[in-house]
Amino acid sequence: MISILAVQLGFVFALLNLLDQAERTAAREAQAKLIVGHTNKLMHTYYDAANTLKSYFLSRDDNTRAQYEAVMNKVPLELNWLSNNLEGNPEARAGLGAIKKKSNPILAILKKAKRTADEESVIAAIPRLAEFRAEIQPLFDGLVVDADKLIKRQEKILEDNPATQAKERAGIRNILYIGLASNLGIAIFIAFYFFANIVSRVDILMDNTRRLSKGEPLRGRLKAADELGELDRVFHEMAAALSEARRKERAIFDNALDVICAIDSQGRFQEVSPASSSVWGYEPHSLTGSELKDIVAEDQRAALAMCFEAAKTGSLAGPFEASVLAAGSENVIETLWTIQWNEEDSSFYCVAHDITDRKRVESRIREVIEMLPVGIALAHPDGAIEYVNPKLCEIFSYEPYQFDGMHLSDLYDDTEGDDTGLKETRARRAGAIEFPAEVSSVSYDTHEGVRQLVVVIDVTEKFELLRLRRSFVSMVSHELRTPLTSVQSFLGMLTMGIYGDLPEQVTRLGASAERSTKQLIRLINDLLDVEKMEQGRLEMKMEAAIGSDVLQTALEAVEGFADRYEVEIVTSVEDMQFSCDRDRVSQVLINLISNAVKFSDRGSSVYVRGSRTSDHVRFEVEDSGRGIPAPYLSAVFERFQQVDESDAREKGGSGLGLAICKVIVESHGGTIGVESEEGKGSLFWFTLPVSEY
């Protein structure tokens, strides 16, 4: 009996060892399937995040933004799941570590890109889209490589697992057969005693072994507490683990938002996920056995067949688009397909992602482009024109079909360069008619490759207006200023009595006419100054200057003016040296101080301050007058701007003084501004850089 017991114990130990191995093999298989599924889901999530972010860049649609945020929320969930379910798999943990290392900068770039889309306009953000693409692409490529490595390791486990399981099952059967053979003699001897108690249970175990190998439910548990009962318990636990793994795998398949399907080599559906019902309108069972081409737009079937053949040979470049005909309607669902050929099963495993909303957004963007008042062209990197909007056809006097085969160089000069702002160039209409144009070009990535977006503006009218303005200014300079100066001189001599005594009324009228003539000459001079400044013809005579000297020059010019208005000028200027055009800076101070005096109450004070930091000097002119209403603050430095139209009549001035101040200060590389509150006065300030002199 001891020998029999020893044999039985050895048999049970060997069988338990094999079952333990089988359990571990099954666990590895279940874990590998889940890792593959969640890794693929993670990569699809990144892909969806990039696509929805790109759509948000172009549309600024709240729904697209919500889709992007929903997709981004899935990334940490998938990473956390992988982190928590890789116990006993050091290779997978190492692969996940590599993925996490690249995920963090990718997520940071995506978040930065979203902030850019939130904060900037579409036109301003489009160039940034290409920058973010270039920044994220190498990281994403590396992520794809790491994910592919992780997936391939797990797929290798799955590939090897059937053979391992078969070997383990064979070992179990061999152990069982050996055990049965070795115990046959003993069994015959004690058959009557053990028949009802052992053989029947062994039969159950054998049947459960076959059921386990086929994935069928096991028979009821043995109630005995001996070795056979323990073995039965292990069998049931193994079966439960395998069932749970299959359930989770199925749950992923059944709950996927994208349509997942298996298609045989003839193009017929073998299995379809439930998502086909909500996305396409087809129940999964209605598609099984039917051909994919039957639900694809007829004009795309040939291209679809070519893509599947390319996937079969491994030459498919990447995902491709196809239009699926919705069930029971004339609607078309635009889809993006990812396919993988499995030689062992002679099947294609496919994922179809719904991009109908994205295509709709792209269509709306194209509609907007069609209506834009500027010329738009899309071109290949070599300049070959792919698309033009109606305005571009109008600008160049070509019909749309005439742009086929044309290059950007056929339309305008200086086509080199990229990601630039508007630049002036010479363009050519049909018939080789040249005209001035402003052109901007930016490159961006599409699923079809790199493209150039070119904006063209016809500035012929702008140049003509500029010519007319310059002609007017020249006329003012030569035809008005000279005679007005003569009139002013004559009126001055008349009021001074050079031509004899005049009646009081005539003298008063002459003095008024002289003041009006001076004001008109001052306006003409201001106009000429502004024009010279804008044309860059106003030269700055840079020289060493002392702040107190510059201010003193200005004070001498406005002293009589301040006395007339009974306003005190209080100065506080630090001992500071800098380089500037002293006459022009004095002109700025004269304008600011005289304005402050004009709008101050009699008996009040105007404060003039000057200070220096390490890199600039700052002048301030502050009054306690009526102040400037908030709506006018942003426009006070523009031409002909007056807070109140009556100011020009009551206070004098052309509305050009502050505009001239702005041009002078900015020509020095400085800045000018104002701080004001209605009823509490104003503070005008300007800064000039400190440079070598």
Question: Does position 648 have pLDDT exceeding 60, yes or no?
Answer: no
**Rg from Cα positions in the chain:** 43
| pLDDT on residue 155 | 73
| pLDDT on residue 478 | 56
Whether the Cβ atoms of residue 130 and residue 442 lie closer than 8 Å to each other: yes
Q: Cβ-count burial of 406 within 10 angstroms (0-12 exposed, 13-18 middle, 19+ buried)?
A: middle
622 or 256: whose pLDDT is higher?
622
Question: Does position 681 have pLDDT exceeding 50, yes or no?
Answer: yes
Q: Which residue has 């116990």 as its token pair?
A: 87
Range picked from 146-155, 188-197, 455-464, 552-561 for highest mean pLDDT: 552-561
pLDDT mean over 437-459: 83
Question: Does position 476 have pLDDT exceeding 90, yes or no?
Answer: no
Question: Does position 692 have pLDDT exceeding 60, yes or no?
Answer: no
Query: Residue 514 is inside which H or E element, if any?
Result: helix 504-534
| pLDDT on residue 646 | 45
Question: Does position 693 have pLDDT exceeding 50, yes or no?
Answer: no
Mean of the per-residue pLDDT values for the chain? 79
Q: Which of 20, 513, 438 is nearest to 230 (CA)?
A: 20
HSE of 387 in the Cβ direction (CA atoms, 13 Å)? 11
Neighbours of 292 (CB within 10 A): 23
| pLDDT on residue 341 | 93
| pLDDT on residue 195 | 61
pLDDT mean over 680-691: 90
Question: Does position 605 have pLDDT exceeding 90, yes or no?
Answer: yes
| pLDDT on residue 323 | 92
Q: Which of 682, 630, 624 is nearest to 658 (CA)?
A: 682
Query: What's the rounded Cα separation, in Å, for the pair 83 and 153?
Result: 17
Question: Does position 649 have pLDDT exceeding 50, yes or no?
Answer: no
pLDDT mean over 585-605: 90
pLDDT digits (tens, 9 = 90+) for 122-151: 676 677 777 777 777 787 777 777 777 777
Interhelix angle for 90-119 vs 122-182, to 10°? 160
480 or 316: whose pLDDT is higher?
316
pLDDT digits (tens, 9 = 90+) for 294-317: 999 999 999 999 999 999 898 887
| pLDDT on residue 226 | 73
Question: Does position 259 have pLDDT exceeding 90, yes or no?
Answer: yes
pLDDT digits (tens, 9 = 90+) for 315-358: 887 888 999 999 888 889 999 999 999 998 899 999 999 998 88
DSSP assignments along 111-160, one per residue: HHHHHHHHHS-HHHHHHHHHHHHHHHHHHHHHHHHHHHHHHHHHHHHHHH
Q: Cβ-count burial of 217 within 10 angstroms (0-12 exposed, 13-18 middle, 19+ buried)?
A: exposed
Q: How confident is the model at residue 245 (pLDDT cuts 50, 70, 90)?
A: confident
Q: How confident is the model at residue 190 (pLDDT cuts 50, 70, 90)?
A: low
Q: Which of 102, 101, 96 is nearest to 80 (CA)?
A: 96
Q: Which residue has 């053989």 as its token pair?
A: 199
Question: Does position 645 have pLDDT exceeding 50, yes or no?
Answer: no
Q: How confident is the model at residue 622 (pLDDT cuts 50, 70, 90)?
A: very high
Range picked from 39-43, 249-253, 427-431, 652-656 for highest mean pLDDT: 427-431
For residue 273, the SS3 value is coil
pLDDT mean over 663-686: 90
pLDDT mean over 438-442: 86
Query: What's the rounded Cα separation, in Å, for the pair 443 and 642?
Result: 44
Query: What's the rounded Cα separation, in Å, for the pair 57 and 55?
Result: 5
For residue 442, the SS3 value is strand
Q: What percent of the chain has pLDDT over 70?
A: 80
682 or 3: whose pLDDT is higher?
682
pLDDT mean over 70-98: 75
Q: How confident is the model at residue 654 (pLDDT cuts 50, 70, 90)?
A: low
Question: Does position 558 have pLDDT exceeding 90, yes or no?
Answer: no
Q: How confident is the model at residue 470 (pLDDT cuts 50, 70, 90)?
A: low
Q: How confident is the model at residue 517 (pLDDT cuts 50, 70, 90)?
A: low
Q: How confident is the model at residue 291 (pLDDT cuts 50, 70, 90)?
A: very high
What does DSSP assign to residue 85?
A: S
pLDDT digits (tens, 9 = 90+) for 407-430: 888 888 876 655 556 788 888 888
pLDDT digits (tens, 9 = 90+) for 50-66: 777 777 777 777 787 77
State the Cα torsion 623-629-634-637 to the nearest 10°: -50
Q: Return the minimum-mean-pLDDT range out of 159-173, 450-464, 471-485.
A: 471-485
